[in-house]
Amino acid sequence: MEQAILGGGCFWCVEGAYKRIKGIQSALPGYAGGPRPNPTYEEVCSGATGHAEIVIIDYDPKIISFDTILEVFFTVHDPTQLNRQGNDVGTQYRSCIMPTNGQQKESALAAIETFASMFDKPIVTTIEEAKHLTIAEAYHHDYYARNPNQGYCAMVVGPKLAKVRKKLAHLYQ
C-alpha cells in the first residue's frame, strides 16, 4: 500500500471522489501543512493555522497509479482558484499535493504541467510537505455519504462527485 495526500478545497468533496474507486483502500479527511500539531476543525476553518483541509488516500499501486489518483484530483476541483474553491475561501481550501516520496513529487510536477492545457487560467496547486498531518474529527468521515441531503452536500458536493464519476466512470466499482 501507498499513501497520497491531497487538498482540493472542502475535504468532503475530495474524500467522496475517492470512495468506491478500484484500488483505494481508504480516503480520510484531515489537516496538514500548518506549523503546529493537532489542530481542530474550528481552528483550521479560522484560516489562522496554516493547515489545508486534505484527504489521506491509502491505495494499492498494483491496481491504481498515483497518476490516476492525480487525474481524479484535477477533475474534482478547480486547481486555478487560489486559496479557494467556489464560496469556500481561505488558505485552508488551497489546492495542494503533499507527496510522500520523490516519485510522487515528480509525478505531481508532471501532472500540473500536463493538466495546465485543460484550464483557461494557470494552475495554482502547490507542492508542499504534509507537516503536522492530522486526521479530522470522526464526524467528517464519509460526511457526504451520511449527509447527501444536507444543503452544502446537495448543492456543491453532489454535483462535483457526479461530474467526476461520469467523466472517470471506468475507475469506479
pLDDT in tens, 100-157: 999 999 999 999 999 999 999 999 999 999 999 999 999 999 999 999 999 999 999 9
Give, rounded to a whole angstrom, the gap between the first and last alpha carbons of the chain: 19
Give the number of other Cβ atoms within 10 Å of residue 17's Cβ.
31
pLDDT at 173 exceeding the cut of 90: no
Predicted pLDDT at 148: 96
If pLDDT is split at 50, 70 and 90, which confidence band does 51 have?
A: very high
Q: Within 13 Å of residue 171, how many CA atoms lie on the same side as its CB?
A: 22
**Catalytic positions:** 10
Q: What one-character DSSP code corresponds to residue 172?
A: B
59-105 pLDDT, tens digit per residue, is: 999 999 999 999 999 999 999 999 999 999 999 999 999 999 999 99
- Return the CATH superfamily for domain 2-171: Peptide methionine sulphoxide reductase MsrA (3.30.1060.10)
